[in-house]
Chains A and B, each alone.
Chain A
């Protein structure tokens, strides 16, 4: 980042065409990943609209659920609604944050950024990997903000520090896995608007889940999907880790069961969508 601290070089010492150098073999996987990831992260932190809007949106949703709907919702477990809500809210933050990955990728596809990257002597898969790493970092940032807001609104954990930390790490891992879905949507969408539209599929996964209400309060026909879809599985794991076990949060099985199942889901999503992204980006039409 300290690019301007380099002494100002004179043109004769650095003229790129002065002595034709042997052709380089291009950047390594790590250099490409870090370089492209840094670009995505700078793009986020230097675009105030993105930075502010994401935070405001998260705060508003959290506030509404906590105070508007919260009073009417019974958690069915031993914990208060705010303690029930925030872990679920953290996991769905992963989805809402990920949406911007889809439109960012679509934008890069349609404005020639990816054409330039494809014309460079770099491993093409590293561009996708860099995108996923950067978006995972942005998810972590979103979790930090949302978690902070949650604490301000009265959220408290009821488990050991290690267990809570495990919950946070699992959420970040879920963010990494889901990012691949959004990157893929961005690659196939063609333009940012279409990508935004496609990422609306976030809504059923976010709301038809155990994030905001207990599954058993939903109608019977909805429960099989709601109880078994991956976001619910991950929420159950994170909630149990943060609030002292499955019994405290009013669900069956053990915490280990939900954590294990979450890891399986994350691995499956990463493998399938990671492979789709890489092959889609690397293919030459």
Chain B
């Protein structure tokens, strides 16, 4: 398996800020690699370096085997970029937008028309193709923007937070579109703040924070590497949240997290099923009614918390009850 992106000890400084601080990673060809990290972790800076929008201060960067620092023009022939905004033109039709990018990629007029039609078809935008983009929904714009990044048939797609700001349905549609592309063999590097997104789409996940890589692997690898199993309880009554949290902390010997929004208490455990069994026994003895209790693998959210000591959205861990 060949590497589509190889970064070696990459740094980028803006004044005093080290946006990339010795970042090294290898993205294999033929799969989706997701860069996961909080705001300001360096995700967009790295994508911009791969897209030749900015030059790294030091380090090595090869894209499809091409030295991106020495030969950025050749890198531009093999990449397609979809940034954080849907940067399609609202006053042009979807088809016109795609044809423009295809032409700029170097396709002749006829091939550009064909490529635009094909992309509209595969993103299920054919019916809307001849309407002005300003009449599109947010999700449709994002899909068209994705289309603009792939209409030139690049080997590598760079997607910077492709679903930020989309409603759940728009997100689902975009995920489906990305999955279909990958099935066709396009390499994808994407950034996301959403753990679920990385989990859903990516074969490889690279967790970065403060400009360098903290962990890398498949979502499963990362979960077993950094995360212990989790016992999660949904009490029948919200009054019991605190008491159940205290009980779980005694059983597991580690601190429990209360999620008030979803009315759940969770705790990491060392002994899996045995700890689950003791939790059930203790709850029963105290007559604490629960609607749901179970043992599950940790989410990437919890993995990130374990690895960095910070939740992924960058807000400090809320004070827990114990």
> Do chains A and B interact in one complex?
yes
Tell me, in angstroms, the Cα distance from A36 to B86 when the chains sit together.
17
Q: Which residues of B contact A47 (CB under 8 A)?
A: 91
Q: Are B99 and A3 closer than 8 Å at their CB atoms?
A: yes
Tell me, in angstroms, the Cα distance from A112 to B101 when the chains sit together.
14
The residue from B89, B99, B115, B153 contacting A20, defined by CB atoms under 8 A apart: B153
Q: Are A27 and B104 closer than 8 Å at their CB atoms?
A: yes
Q: Which residues of B contact A121 (CB under 8 A)?
A: 73, 76-77, 104-106
Question: Assuming A116-B101, A119-B81, is B186 touching A17 (CB within 8 A)?
Answer: yes
Q: Are A117 and B53 closer than 8 Å at their CB atoms?
A: no
Q: Which residues of B contact A117 (CB under 8 A)?
A: 104
Q: Are A120 and B122 closer than 8 Å at their CB atoms?
A: no
Contacting residues of chain B (173-193) with chain A, CB-CB under 8 angstroms: 184-186
The residue from B53, B103, B151, B155 contacting A35, defined by CB atoms under 8 A apart: B103
Contacting residues of chain A (30-46) with chain B, CB-CB under 8 angstroms: 31-32, 35-36, 38-39, 42-43, 46
Question: Assuming A4-B130, A27-B104, is B117 touching A9 (CB within 8 A)?
Answer: yes
Q: Are A119 and B55 closer than 8 Å at their CB atoms?
A: no
Question: Assuming A24-B77, A25-B106, A39-B89, is B153 touching A16 (CB within 8 A)?
Answer: yes
Q: Are B91 and A11 closer than 8 Å at their CB atoms?
A: no
Q: Which residues of A contact B74 (CB under 8 A)?
A: 23
Instruction: Closest A residue to B87 by CB, please name it.
Output: A112
Q: Are B104 and A26 closer than 8 Å at their CB atoms?
A: yes
Q: Is B148 located at the chain interface by the 8 A CB criterion?
A: yes
How close is A182's CB to chain B, nearest CB, in angstroms? 20
Q: Which residues of A contact B91 (CB under 8 A)?
A: 42-43, 46-47
Tell me, in angstroms, the Cα distance from A11 to B184 when the chains sit together.
14
Q: Are A284 and B73 closer than 8 Å at their CB atoms?
A: no
How close is A56's CB to chain B, nearest CB, in angstroms? 20
Q: Is A8 located at the chain interface by the 8 A CB criterion?
A: yes
Q: Are A32 and B114 closer than 8 Å at their CB atoms?
A: no
How close is B104's CB to chain A, nearest CB, in angstroms? 5
Between B95, B101, B118, the greatest number of chain A beta carbons within 10 A of the residue's beta carbon is seen for B118
Tell me, in angstroms, the Cα distance from A6 to B51 when the chains sit together.
33
Q: Which residues of B contact A20 (CB under 8 A)?
A: 153, 155
Q: Is B227 located at the chain interface by the 8 A CB criterion?
A: no
Q: Are B55 and A27 closer than 8 Å at their CB atoms?
A: no
Q: Is A113 located at the chain interface by the 8 A CB criterion?
A: yes
The residue from B72, B87, B107, B122 contacting A116, defined by CB atoms under 8 A apart: B87
Tell me, in angstroms, the Cα distance from A71 to B85 when the chains sit together.
52
Q: Are A116 and B81 closer than 8 Å at their CB atoms?
A: yes
Q: Are B113 and A115 closer than 8 Å at their CB atoms?
A: no
Q: Are B118 and A16 closer than 8 Å at their CB atoms?
A: yes
Question: Assuming A3-B95, A16-B118, A284-B55, is B105 touching A27 (CB within 8 A)?
Answer: yes
Q: Which residues of A contact B72 (CB under 8 A)?
A: 284
Q: Are A21 and B130 closer than 8 Å at their CB atoms?
A: no
Q: Which residues of B contact A26 (CB under 8 A)?
A: 76-77, 104-106
Q: Are B100 and A35 closer than 8 Å at their CB atoms?
A: yes
Q: Are A23 and B78 closer than 8 Å at their CB atoms?
A: yes
Q: Are A11 and B118 closer than 8 Å at their CB atoms?
A: yes
Q: Are B83 and A116 closer than 8 Å at their CB atoms?
A: yes
Q: Are A35 and B54 closer than 8 Å at their CB atoms?
A: no
Q: Which residues of B contact A9 (CB under 8 A)?
A: 114, 117-118
Q: Are A113 and B103 closer than 8 Å at their CB atoms?
A: no
Tell me, in angstroms, the Cα distance from A115 to B185 when the chains sit together.
25
Contacting residues of chain A (46-75) with chain B, CB-CB under 8 angstroms: 46-47
Contacting residues of chain B (61-86) with chain A, CB-CB under 8 angstroms: 72-74, 76-86
Between A43, A118, A120, the greatest number of chain B beta carbons within 10 A of the residue's beta carbon is seen for A120
Q: Which residues of B contact A39 (CB under 8 A)?
A: 89, 92, 100
The residue from A8, A35, A42, A111 contacting B104, defined by CB atoms under 8 A apart: A35
How close is B113's CB to chain A, nearest CB, in angstroms? 5
Q: Which residues of A contact B107 (CB under 8 A)?
A: 24
Question: Assuming A46-B91, A113-B87, A120-B76, is B130 touching A3 (CB within 8 A)?
Answer: yes
Question: Assuming A11-B122, A16-B119, is B53 touching A122 (CB within 8 A)?
Answer: no
Q: Is B231 located at the chain interface by the 8 A CB criterion?
A: no
Q: Are B104 and A31 closer than 8 Å at their CB atoms?
A: yes
Contacting residues of chain B (262-282) with chain A, CB-CB under 8 angstroms: none
Q: Are B89 and A3 closer than 8 Å at their CB atoms?
A: no
Q: Which residues of A contact B130 (CB under 8 A)?
A: 3-4
Q: Is B52 located at the chain interface by the 8 A CB criterion?
A: yes
Q: Are B104 and A120 closer than 8 Å at their CB atoms?
A: yes
The residue from A14, A31, A42, A118 contacting B53, defined by CB atoms under 8 A apart: A118
Q: Is A253 located at the chain interface by the 8 A CB criterion?
A: no
How close is B192's CB to chain A, nearest CB, in angstroms? 17
Between B51, B85, B104, the greatest number of chain A beta carbons within 10 A of the residue's beta carbon is seen for B104
The residue from A13, A14, A23, A112 contacting B83, defined by CB atoms under 8 A apart: A112
The residue from B79, B101, B153 contacting A21, defined by CB atoms under 8 A apart: B153
Q: Is B150 located at the chain interface by the 8 A CB criterion?
A: yes
Q: Is A15 located at the chain interface by the 8 A CB criterion?
A: yes
Question: Assuming A16-B150, A23-B78, A284-B53, is B105 touching A115 (CB within 8 A)?
Answer: no
Tell me, in angstroms, the Cα distance from A23 to B104 when the chains sit together.
13
21 contacts across the A-B interface (CB closer than 8 A): A3-B116, A6-B113, A6-B117, A9-B118, A16-B118, A17-B184, A23-B78, A24-B107, A26-B77, A31-B103, A32-B104, A39-B100, A111-B87, A115-B53, A115-B83, A116-B81, A118-B53, A121-B76, A121-B105, A284-B72, A285-B54
Not counting A23-B155, A27-B104, a sample of 7 additional A-B residue pairs whose C-beta atoms are within 8 angstroms of each other reads A3-B116, A38-B100, A39-B100, A42-B91, A112-B84, A119-B81, A120-B101
